[in-house]
Amino acid sequence: MSTENHNPQKYYVPDQSIWPLVGAIALGLIAFGAGHYTIEWSKQEAGFGHYFLGAGLLVMVVMLVGWFGDQIRESRAGLYNEQLGRSYKQGMSWFIFSEVMFFMAFFGALFYARMIAVPWLGGASNNEMTGQILWPGFEAIWPLTTTPDGTTTQAMGWFGLPLINTVILVISSVTLHFAHVGLEEGKRQKLKVWLLITIALGLIFLGLQGYEYVHAYRDLGLTLDSGIYGNTFFMLTGFHGLHVTLGAIMMIVMAGRVFAGHFTKNDQFAFQATAWYWHFVDVVWLCLFVFVYVL
């Protein structure tokens, strides 16, 4: 069917593909392996989980290369039409919306802990007895540096590294926009330079974030398991960092395609989707900076 799609009136229905099934197998292996590996890791036992996890990740990489490779080839061959382009854009927008909701779950946990759980443990609202009998001497403050069971930690300040990282990420959004303008104007050199600068900024952000984690673990005693403050801090910044990593990988792939001469003003969905994703990650960071670091 795909060969007869020169008629713009006609719908495009893609050929059969092996990759969805490969992707499902990959996810199955990853889920099974990650589950068993988590159990074995927590018990310090030897087991088979990591083999499945490794195999799954490998199959996943093969799938991504294969599937995206097919897409790129078909797109370059001019098989796609305007309608499919719209479907891709809408699909990506809804995917980003689902990511927003994923972060909402963790922000929700943060707000609930700060506004409700911790004050109530300290006796607020109708919980006078909880404070007096269950957790006497517990002081409800945020950042929660001493948990009800007495674990202590230090809070991460916002000045310094986090502020620098915020500036870096905001600038990277602007430079990516310049790259996009370059693409729109057909100025390939401008596109290449700004895209590479954006990637560099993203990688610097990740490096500094890693450095901040080392600082937190080594100097502040702020760890994933040091109470609800550490939990929300590392889960939110950690998942954000994961998204930055993914975004950086996507941009590196885009850079490869740009240097191979792909993308024009009218054929740039992958680049656009990557840019949307990067801006989304940037916005999440701004929320993070305000609610996790500053306030």
| 109-168 binders of other proteins (CB under 8 A) | 109, 112-113, 116-118, 120-121, 125-126, 134-135, 144, 147-149, 151
For position 25 contacting other proteins by CB under 8 A, the verdict is yes
> Given candidates 46, 101, 129, 214, which one binds other proteins under the rule CB under 8 A?
101
On whether the CB atoms of residues 53 and 29 are closer than 8 A, the answer is yes
For position 6 contacting other proteins by CB under 8 A, the verdict is yes
Name the phi and psi angles at 158, rounded to 5.
Answer: -100, -20
| Interface of this chain with other proteins, residues 41 to 60, rule: CB under 8 A | 41-42
For position 27 contacting other proteins by CB under 8 A, the verdict is yes
On whether the CB atoms of residues 284 and 149 are closer than 8 A, the answer is no
For position 97 contacting other proteins by CB under 8 A, the verdict is yes
| Interface of this chain with other proteins, residues 193 to 222, rule: CB under 8 A | none
Secondary structure (DSSP) of 201-251: HHHHHHHHHHHHHHHIIIII---TTSHHHHHHHHHHHHHHHHHHHHHHHHH
For position 38 contacting other proteins by CB under 8 A, the verdict is yes
- Report the interhelical angle of 227-259 vs 269-288 (nearest 10°): 160
Q: Which is nearer to other proteins, 84 or 199 (CB)?
A: 84
- Measured CA to CA, the distance from residue 161 to residue 207 in angstroms comes to 11
- What x-and-dash track marks residues 222-261 binding other proteins by CB under 8 A? --xx-xxxxx---x--------------------------
Name the phi and psi angles at 277, rounded to 5.
Answer: -60, -40
For the CB of residue 228, give the shortest distance to other proteins in the complex, in Å. Answer: 4
